[in-house]
Every structure is written in structure tokens, then in C-alpha cells.
Amino acid sequence: MTGTTSPHDRLAFALGRVLANGSRPPCGDGSGAWVSDNRDERAMAARLCARCPLIVECAAAADSTKERFGVWAGVDRTQPTSSKRKGAA
């Protein structure tokens, strides 16, 4: 890899290495918790990131595109929306 490789490419290469070793990151469990609309599910997903071998590459990829939704590298980046904060009339 060269210094011009994007963070997302580095994440993809690192993921390939992990998968080739017969392992998978926690977010590969198929649960969808990392992109859930449910804050508690995302909090659980964020805790599972602590044991991920891709946490550094994941954080760099998310930072590079200023991700604003889902859990990346143990951080819930989901931005609250004003419609979710409004109460009933």
C-alpha cells in the first residue's frame, strides 16, 4: 500500500486479512445493530467494538468521510434529528 491509499481502502485490506485468517469483526454478525435506529442496540454494538482488530482502520475510515450515522470504531456517530426530539401534541 502507498501513502495515497484511502482510509476506506485500508479498512477493506485489513478486513480481507482478518477474513483470510478465519476470523471476522464483531460488526460482521449480521445483526444490524451497528446501523440500528435503536440507541440501545447501537450502544451494545459500540461496546463490542472494543475487541475488534480493525478498530484503528475503522476509525480512520469514518473520520475521513465524517460519518454521521451508525457505530464506527466503538463510537455511535448517529446524529439526533429534530423529529425524534419532538413530543406528542
pLDDT tens per residue across span 22-66: 999 999 999 999 999 999 999 999 999 999 999 999 999 999 999
Q: How many helices (H) and strands (E) does the chain have?
A: 4, 2
Q: What is the rounded distance in angstroms from the CA atom of residue 8 to the CA atom of residue 87?
A: 38
State residue 18's pLDDT score: 96
State residue 62's pLDDT score: 97
Bridge partners, residue 72, by sequence: 75
Task: Please determine, for residue 5, whether its predicted confidence score (pLDDT) is greater than 70.
Answer: yes
Instruction: Give helix 7-20 / helix 55-64 axis angle, nearest 10°.
Output: 150
State residue 88's pLDDT score: 47
List phi, psi (to 5°) of 72: -130, 125
Q: Are 64 and 6 in contact (CB under 8 A)?
A: yes
Q: What is the rounded distance in angstroms from the CA atom of residue 34 to the CA atom of residue 42?
A: 5
